[in-house]
Structure 1
């Protein structure tokens, strides 16, 4: 359970950091947006090291499902676009995959 909380925190930091760059490049915001963007991206990278996994690749693979779901939540909460049934179905598949990767009985 701790890993999923860390993953969602990492996703929020990554999406927020990337959005700051998006705002600067695509929305014409000030270059000052790059400061919190860079800090958020560094926070994202640091949070991923807290996941209970012996292998970085497996931790990153499982994170993918959480990231996709979080991006759709961002789409809804920040951009005001409600995810449709295809978005939700895809997110459910991704979360199932992330759970299999993270919780599966892997060989050492």
Structure 2
């Protein structure tokens, strides 16, 4: 498709840009839908849903707390990453990690 851009007026060029932008969004939406269907099909072949795959092992979720501060149960820790100060203090005081399990 060859368009002689030099022969178009400002209004025609503006309309062409708007139409092209709209068409590009439509193509992107359609391709994303096709990609999602393909990903769902592959996940299903492995016995999972796409949501299960996307939520597994991602760093987007904090995880469920496994430990709570006995002195302040609102302070929790998942058991991953750096130990909070209250965990270190409790361990130094002779408590075990099992003592703080929820």
Q: If the length of structure 2 is used for normalisation, what is the TM-score? A: 0.28
The structure with higher relative contact order (CA 8 Å, sep 6+) is 1
Q: If the length of structure 1 is used for normalisation, what is the TM-score? A: 0.27
Larger radius of gyration: 2
